[in-house]
Structure 1
Amino acid sequence: MFSFIKQCGFTLIELLIVMVIVGILGVTSVAYINAGVNIYSQGVERQEAVAQARFMLTRLAKELRHATPNSLRLQCEGGCTFDQCLEFIPFQSATHYTDYLPTSAPFNVTAVDFELNNLAQPTIGNWATVYPLHHSDLYDVANNKRLQVTGFVSSTTSELDQWQFSQAFMQESSSKRIYLLAEPVSFCVEGNALYRYQDYGFNVNQLNAVQLQASSGVKRDLLALHISNNLVSNEFFNLDDAALTRNSVLNIHAIMTFNDSEAMMFNHEVHIPNVP
């Protein structure tokens, strides 16, 4: 008696068809996953560019609120090349002096005590300014509108302090205001990045980014990337001239590029009080 065993299997054609179908499904799945990954990565880069722009504009506006009147100056206007720098002098605090400024020695100025407003008092070596009308009044010490404090006496019995200087200020302030200055600060657009510089001191002529980097003791901090301004035709900073009847206006025009093809433009105005 014979028994027959039925054998089952796949033909070569069936195997080839299955392999083709599996290959098509694999390629489709990979393409679908890659599309999802690309969309996600583009979204992340877009959010990063927006976040950097928001941080950058907020930081600039916040610091410029403490800019000494008429201290802003630009390294280049009307067509920059490799970089563009905005420089200003922050003030630590401000107060009012009571009498007319002395024109002969001793050069002592009586001013309202900083402690009334919980502000730090000046120390010997600090810089002070009275009635700066142009940025040269602040950066060029020869104009006698930025003088170094040589002595300070804080009264314990009255609300007035004594400031001491080695020479007279050039001009009276119509509002009798005196500013205690901090060190200058520069924001420089270099390539696709924005950097902040400090601790390089006062200079009559404004320094560019290369000169700032070469300065001794300078501190350089990265603030933003993805900047794609063509500085020759689209300057990052634009400064309107100040007048005694209105504030000066700093226009920030930032072009942020991401995903190698997308770009966003941000226009922001910062109003700088200019009446000293």
Structure 2
Amino acid sequence: MRRAAGFTLVELVMVIVLLAIVATISVQFVTLSTRGAIDVGARQKRALAGVVISEQISRSVREALPTSLRTGAGGSCLEWMPILAASNYLSRPSGPTPDSFEAVPLAGGRSAAGRVVIYGYGANVYSPTNPGPISPPATLPSGASPVTVSFDGGATHRFTAQSPERRFYVVADPVATCQVGTFLYRYRGYGINISPASGLPSSYPGREVLAANLVPGSLVFQVTPPSLQRGAVVSFNFELVDAESGEVTAIGQEVQVRNVP
């Protein structure tokens, strides 16, 4: 009589144990692979965020009046005056109470309104005194050459120096970029103050969030002032942290700010 084929209990237990080992290894492999993919994705996300933050700061700083770049205490803030327009003057304001001067019009029939700065080297553009390098609010109109740049409200102003290139800039009120805690903010509309990045607004629209998840105290700005031979250089470093893993990505950048005295 033919004996029936089958598995013994020992063989069945061995198969179950082997399957459990294979399943455990497979689960660990899938888990590690998934964790690795998530970590790589998180690093790429932080790296992209770092590039975006650096580019935002760099583009803004490249439009700054070089002699207006300055840092706050500890280097956590950078302040500057954005350039709205630039042209050449035909004659500087003269006389005891000058309220206007003639200039070359802007290309494309544009106009500009802001403060006029001439030269500015060796002087503090954040001290709007008369005489001084920065004027009261003024208007550069459109029109045929020459155009007359007038100080608003009948104000008068004399500039303390002349530009070798007869160059003048029209600048806006100061803006600042600062780190507060884990956030990076952009400030505007707070006026001109003697101390760097002082009197900053604490709410929207004067304060806008540029980025989050920065390591507290990691943002440091450094400014190399411009000279008659070279432009200003702004360098900054900061760190981004992953909220879940705590992994940190360090970012560094240098920006050259070209200038024409």
Matched, 1:160 2:159: no
Following the alignment from structure 2 to structure 1, what is the Cα–Cα distance between the partners of residues 110 and 141?
13
Of 102, 112, 128, 1:110 maps to 102
Three-state SS of the structure 1 residue aligned to 2:21 is: helix
Three-state SS of the structure 2 residue aligned to 1:214 is: coil
Three-state SS of the structure 2 residue aligned to 1:136 is: coil
1:99/1:109 contact within 8 Å kept? yes
TM-score, with length taken from structure 2: 0.80
Question: Which residue pairs with 2:129 in the alignment?
Answer: 142
Distance 1:21 1:200, change over 3 A: farther
Greater CA deviation, 25-34 or 193-202?
193-202
Of 193, 207, 212, 1:203 maps to 193
Identity of aligned residues (%): 24
Distance 1:212 1:50, change over 3 A: same
Deviation of 1:250 after TM superposition, in Å, equals: 1.3
Question: Which residue pairs with 1:251 in the alignment?
Answer: 235
**How many pairs align?**
255
Deviation of 1:22 after TM superposition, in Å, equals: 3.1
RMSD, aligned α-carbons: 3.2
Distance 1:148 1:241, change over 3 A: closer
Three-state SS of the structure 1 residue aligned to 2:30 is: helix
Greater CA deviation, 260-269 or 246-255?
260-269
Three-state SS of the structure 2 residue aligned to 1:171 is: coil
2:100/2:148 contact within 8 Å kept? yes
Of 30, 39, 49, 2:27 maps to 30
Deviation of 1:151 after TM superposition, in Å, equals: 5.7
The superposition leaves residues 170-228 of structure 1 with CA deviations (integer Å, 9 ceiling, x where unpaired) of 323222222111232212223444332333333332236xx6352674041323x5544
2:53/2:210 contact within 8 Å kept? no
1:108/1:163 contact within 8 Å kept? yes
Three-state SS of the structure 2 residue aligned to 1:109 is: strand
1:75/1:85 contact within 8 Å kept? yes
Three-state SS of the structure 2 residue aligned to 1:46 is: helix
1:99/1:110 contact within 8 Å kept? yes
Following the alignment from structure 1 to structure 2, what is the Cα–Cα distance between the partners of residues 163 and 120?
13
Matched, 1:100 2:92: yes
Corresponding letter in the other structure for 1:140: S
TM-score, with length taken from structure 1: 0.77
Question: Which residue pairs with 1:270 in the alignment?
Answer: 255
